[in-house]
Structure 1
Amino acid sequence: MKFASAILTGAAAVKALSIPQNVDKREELVPITTGFTMKPFLTELVEAVNDGADLTEILTKPAGDILSVGIADVNATIHLGLSTVGLAINSGGRVSDDDVSRIESTAGSASRVGDNARGSCSNPKVRVEWRNMQPVQRKAFVNAIVCLWNAPSKGLAPPATNRYEELVWVHQQMVNKVHQSGMFLIWHRYYTHLFGRMLREECGYPGAYPFPWWDETKDSGNFAASGLFTADYFGALPQLNNGQGTCVTNGPFAGKRLHIGPGGGNQDRCLSRGENRDLTRQVSAAFVNSCNSRSTYAQMRECTEFGPHAYGHNGLGPVMSDVAASPADPVFFLHHAFIDRNFWKWQSQAASRWTDIYACAAPGNPCPIMGLDTVISSMGLRPDVRVRDILDAEGSWLCYSYDY
């Protein structure tokens, strides 16, 4: 499905912020520029109609949930809004999907993963939802992130002042290649896994402790109540203040300065947050289930990227809504573990999804096709891998699953 709007990346996504160094951090407000393109309610509705989904939950959403529509009557909304979001209705009354058709017709017969086939990992580690972790495990996880933040850089990225920022720099440099294409879910699966390896190999996060994920659907509309944003863990998540975020002033990340971003630039600024509940309540089980009902990878990826993924980022404030440098807020990795868990759930619906894939390797029309031997890079952070190595989370290279 084609979208009229494109994801904003690099310097165009976020205005440079000029943060006075002598401002009391408790009062320092940071402007928010939404960087991640979000799927309008209209698009969700039309796709659900096409997929024959049960529309009861969608159509009974409160009026405030219907973002980017502004028309109460659903039928009028469909007729008036189609051209706005760039959708085309064919004679059969369905939304066309030229990109998916082209990819599937060009890719031909799927190849098998072979040596990395499902089941080759005999004892996968289980990623555990944050609330299901023991307090000592949660604290150890946060301490390992602080360790990485305090570790000296290794010369991978000149603008980085520490090892953690080298990780952020990689995402900043790769941003245009790993969004708005089939690479999105695959590359972020790899990137999140590398983060976990760095915590264990460079900062002593115990191998017996699980890597956490955050079930954001349980906190839809109130991310601040998740239990992550406390002085013991990731620090406060205040509500927006006059439409702006606030510098984090408590917890292990209080007073942390960022030097990668915003956008494609590199500027000293604070780690800041501010919840927009109109956006975070869109990260619902209904939306996740709608995306996971899609029959093709391309459809599911697009729904996920512009749906729960984008709403989660934009709903957390200035740093997380900066497309390029969003990993500068460490909660990024729990958010992307949530996105990966949803991908894992979608794959679990059919055995072929662990071994076959039809996707674009980069944005574009026509686009390059992503195959099982397409290289996945982290720009020297860790060795490159191929798609076939990480398509199956429970294969030999990744070897993990989720607790539910």
Structure 2
Amino acid sequence: MGDSLSHDNLFSPPSLHNQRNFDSNLVNFSPTSRLINLNDCLNVRVRRNILTLNESQLADYINSVKRLYLDGTIDRLAFFHRIHYHSSHNQPLIFWWHRYFIWKFENELQRIKPGLTIPYWDASEEYKEPHKSIVLSDKYFGGNGEEQFHCVVNGFLKSLVTRLPDGKANCIKRAYYGSVAGTLDPWNDTQKIVDIIKSSKDSEKFRVAMEDSIHLDVHQGLGGLDANGYMNSPISPLDPIFYLHHANLDRWLYTWQLSSFQRFEMINGNQRLLNGTLIKLTKDYELDGYQNVTLDQILRIQEKPLCYTYDYLPLDKLSSTK
């Protein structure tokens, strides 16, 4: 038995593991420390800041992503995301569900190039004028869409197509949302996220504050208020920045968890089902769309089945007096 993605079983079923005890001295955590029982992870993947990749690493990532567009994987993931959009947005499940979703994408990357991981874009560090970020340049992921059809016309995306949402060949679309055409208004900065972590005593408070701040900033900023760009729509995984963005959100979620060891046991909120029924979110809740994958299995990213971490987890910022 295993999880299912659309109608395909692409990966081996995740193993079940018991809860592990965590050292309460979390302020000294480093991604490579033995603070966490790695629970049989022979290799722990390390996701790195996109701005630290050298030219060869960046080329490997972009070329692998292009392959996933060409073989239909990106379309399939975006379609799956659209199907489960209701249960994974504006709901307590959002960041947990996306933790597993992008991990599945990362496994697809490794099918193309073993060892490849998703880089993250620390967008809150470029909050003042995000449209000037090198991430939105020709060398990386292209910039704004053109005015008429909102197609990205620079970078590697200009030559790629999707069959979503209507079965026809469509370009990859972006539509900047800013007070001046072709620009992006300032986003929430890193200090805002640090304040959210400090003030959020349970996972639902963290979720609400994050979803309405940097999460929304990037999705709405690149997708446009009217969702002319894909990033502000249920098929947002069609934009490759989606994966960088959610890797960063997951990095902040893990930082929130590490900031107090009790937070690894903390699942809060009421999940609304499609029929309108509210149920309390618990560790045995099965992720929508993934058979036999529960929240309990993905709470600790350095244990199986996930086995990954980040090059920098900003716990040092939590001790700041700013």
Same fold (TM over 0.5): yes
1:78-113 deviation per Cα after TM superposition (whole angstroms, max 9, x unaligned): xxxxxxxxxxxxxxxxxxxxxxxxxxxxxxxxxxx9
Query: Is the CA contact 1:212–1:337 (under 8 Å) kept in the aligned structure 2?
Result: yes
Shift of 1:391: 1.2
Mark the runs of 5 or more structure 1 residues left unpaired by the alignment: 1-112, 152-161
Q: Where does residue 86 of structure 2 map in the other structure? A: 176
Of residues 234, 237, 241 in structure 1, which corresponds to 2:144? 237
Instruction: Decide whether aligned partners of structure 1 residues 274 and 116 sit closer, same or farther in structure 2, where only a CA change above 3 A counts.
Output: same
The percentage of counterpart residues that share the same residue type is 24
Q: Is residue 278 of structure 2 the alignment partner of residue 374 of structure 1?
A: no
Shift of 1:372: 1.3
* Mapped partners of 1:141, 1:363: distance in 2: 36
Of residues 227, 250, 275 in structure 2, which corresponds to 1:340? 250
Shift of 1:171: 0.2
Q: Is residue 213 of structure 2 the alignment partner of residue 301 of structure 1?
A: no
Q: Where does residue 66 of structure 2 map in the other structure? A: 146
Of residues 162, 165, 170 in structure 2, which corresponds to 1:258? 162
* Mapped partners of 2:143, 2:125: distance in 1: 18
TM-score, normalization: structure 1?
A: 0.61
1:27-51 deviation per Cα after TM superposition (whole angstroms, max 9, x unaligned): xxxxxxxxxxxxxxxxxxxxxxxxx
Q: Is residue 220 of structure 2 the alignment partner of residue 220 of structure 1?
A: no
Q: Where does residue 197 of structure 2 map in the other structure? A: 292
Per mean C-alpha deviation after superposition, the further-off stretch among 214-223 and 351-360 is: 351-360
Q: Where does residue 293 of structure 2 map in the other structure? A: 385
Query: Is the CA contact 2:118–2:243 (under 8 Å) kept in the aligned structure 1?
Result: no
Q: Where does residue 3 of structure 1 map in the other structure? A: none
User: What is the DSSP-based 3-state SS (H/G/I as helix, E as strand, rest coil) of the residue aligned with 1:144?
Assistant: helix
TM-score, normalization: structure 2?
A: 0.75
User: What is the DSSP-based 3-state SS (H/G/I as helix, E as strand, rest coil) of the residue aligned with 2:135?
Assistant: coil
Shift of 1:173: 0.2
Cα RMSD, aligned residues only: 2.5
- For 1:213, the aligned partner's letter is Y
Q: Is residue 171 of structure 2 the alignment partner of residue 270 of structure 1?
A: yes
Instruction: Decide whether aligned partners of structure 1 residues 280 and 344 sit closer, same or farther in structure 2, where only a CA change above 3 A counts.
Output: farther
Mark the runs of 5 or more structure 2 residues left unpaired by the alignment: 1-15, 23-35, 313-322
* Mapped partners of 1:297, 1:196: distance in 2: 25
Shift of 1:257: 2.7
* Mapped partners of 1:180, 1:149: distance in 2: 28
Instruction: Decide whether aligned partners of structure 1 residues 220 and 136 sit closer, same or farther in structure 2, where only a CA change above 3 A counts.
Output: same
Shift of 1:308: 1.0
Report the count of equivalent residues. Answer: 270
Q: Where does residue 137 of structure 1 map in the other structure? A: 57
Shift of 1:288: 1.4
Query: Is the CA contact 2:298–2:305 (under 8 Å) kept in the aligned structure 1?
Result: yes
1:18-69 deviation per Cα after TM superposition (whole angstroms, max 9, x unaligned): xxxxxxxxxxxxxxxxxxxxxxxxxxxxxxxxxxxxxxxxxxxxxxxxxxxx
Query: Is the CA contact 1:273–1:316 (under 8 Å) kept in the aligned structure 2?
Result: yes
Q: Where does residue 115 of structure 1 map in the other structure? A: 18
Shift of 1:347: 0.8
Q: Where does residue 397 of structure 1 map in the other structure? A: 305
Instruction: Decide whether aligned partners of structure 1 residues 266 and 362 sit closer, same or farther in structure 2, where only a CA change above 3 A counts.
Output: farther
Shift of 1:328: 0.9
Instruction: Decide whether aligned partners of structure 1 residues 136 and 224 sit closer, same or farther in structure 2, where only a CA change above 3 A counts.
Output: farther
* Mapped partners of 1:192, 1:373: distance in 2: 20
1:337-382 deviation per Cα after TM superposition (whole angstroms, max 9, x unaligned): 1111111111111112123322323369862112211112446xxx
Of the two, which has the highest radius of gyration?
1
Instruction: Decide whether aligned partners of structure 1 residues 280 and 175 sit closer, same or farther in structure 2, where only a CA change above 3 A counts.
Output: farther
Query: Is the CA contact 1:355–1:392 (under 8 Å) kept in the aligned structure 2?
Result: no
